[in-house]
């Protein structure tokens, strides 16, 4: 399996919920021997959150990435990006943000709609419990809503990669709401990968999951293997929120899928 470990295409700065500046993230990437990165802060949203870039800060964000490019142009390739949070009801908002022009756009599902508004899928345990309660008797329904929303996003052809594809499994070790061997779940994954293949959307191996439940990368091993069989390009993303975690756990992925470290 070919995976390029010289780039990290998912990271956050202090413009969203990261701890450090764009320059500090670039310096750390070079210190770790990376050749290319994408700065992908959380896109602005039309409602208040604790983690998204403020819409009024987008121009400054873009200008600072351009400045970093000029500073490090001979040493590091820097892509101007965002992690786009796709919400069906806010598709027009998403289109307006993506139309500004970007080098690398990740599509991720962070919220899903319920009867009482939006619920976080990949927040903390307290935040995901209300979502479980809405789908208490139909765990397959929760998974279907998640993957149908992701499929809708991929079909827009706006995005370069899918971020933490199966993040819905985050609390599965505790709540046991997904059986990854079940036919219905595998069918949802298969349909999602088929769309990615059609739209030439890259699969991100997101190593942030090693730091919390489920204590493994997103997506699961078998999904990575299925993507490889479909010749879907695979890229690495640390989902780093600090300079220290850029390129985190890439060695584990190299050993697991390539048989050696780098």
Indicate if the pLDDT at residue 136 is higher than 80.
no
Q: 53-57, 75-79, 202-206, 258-262 — which is least confidently predicted? A: 258-262
Indicate if the pLDDT at residue 82 is higher than 80.
yes
Q: Cα(135)–Cα(168) distance, rounded to whole angstroms?
A: 13
Cα torsion at 123, 129, 135, 137 (round to 10°)? Answer: 140
User: Does domain 7-258 bear CATH number 1.25.40.20?
Assistant: no
Q: Average pLDDT of 18-33?
A: 98
In the prediction, which pLDDT does 262 show?
67
In the prediction, which pLDDT does 135 show?
78
Which residues lie below 8 Å from residue 209, measured CB to CB, with a gap of 6+? 164, 167, 170, 215, 216, 217, 218
Q: Cα(210)–Cα(213) distance, rounded to whole angstroms?
A: 7
Residue 15 CA, distance from chain mean position: 17
In the prediction, which pLDDT does 123 show?
87
In the prediction, which pLDDT does 127 show?
85
Q: Per-residue pLDDT tens for 183-211?
A: 999 999 999 999 999 999 999 999 999 99
Which residues lie below 8 Å from residue 249, measured CB to CB, with a gap of 6+? 207, 210, 217, 238
In the prediction, which pLDDT does 248 show?
97
Indicate if the pLDDT at residue 158 is higher than 90.
yes
User: Please, where are the H alpha helices in the chain?
Assistant: 22-31, 58-72, 91-98, 125-134, 139-155, 172-175, 183-198, 221-229, 250-253
Q: Average pLDDT of 35-55?
A: 96
Indicate if the pLDDT at residue 77 is higher than 90.
yes
């Amino acid at each position: 399996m070919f995976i390029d470990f010289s780039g990290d295409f998912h990271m956050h700065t202090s413009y969203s919920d990261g701890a450090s500046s764009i320059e500090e993230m670039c310096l750390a990437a070079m210190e770790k021997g990376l050749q290319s990165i994408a700065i992908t802060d959380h896109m602005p949203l039309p409602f208040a959150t604790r983690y998204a870039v403020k819409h009024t800060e987008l121009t400054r964000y873009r200008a600072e990435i351009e400045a970093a490019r000029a500073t490090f142009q001979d040493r590091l390739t820097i892509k101007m990006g965002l992690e786009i949070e796709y919400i069906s009801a806010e598709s027009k908002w998403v289109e307006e943000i993506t139309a500004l022009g970007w080098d690398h756009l990740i599509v991720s599902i962070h919220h899903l709609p319920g009867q009482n508004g939006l619920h976080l899928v990949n927040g903390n345990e307290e935040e995901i419990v209300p979502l479980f309660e809405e789908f208490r008797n139909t765990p397959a329904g929760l998974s279907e809503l998640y993957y149908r929303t992701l499929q809708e996003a991929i079909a827009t052809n706006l995005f370069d990669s899918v971020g933490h594809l199966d993040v819905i499994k985050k609390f599965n070790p505790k709540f046991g709401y997904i059986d990854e061997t079940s036919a219905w779940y595998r069918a949802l994954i298969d349909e999602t990968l088929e769309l990615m293949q059609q739209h030439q959307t890259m699969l991100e191996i997101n190593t942030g999951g090693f730091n919390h439940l489920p204590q493994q990368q997103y997506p699961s091993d078998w999904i990575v293997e299925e993507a490889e069989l479909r010749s879907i390009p695979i890229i690495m993303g640390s989902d780093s929120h600090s300079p220290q975690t850029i390129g985190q756990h890439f060695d584990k992925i190299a050993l697991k899928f390539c048989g050696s470290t780098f």
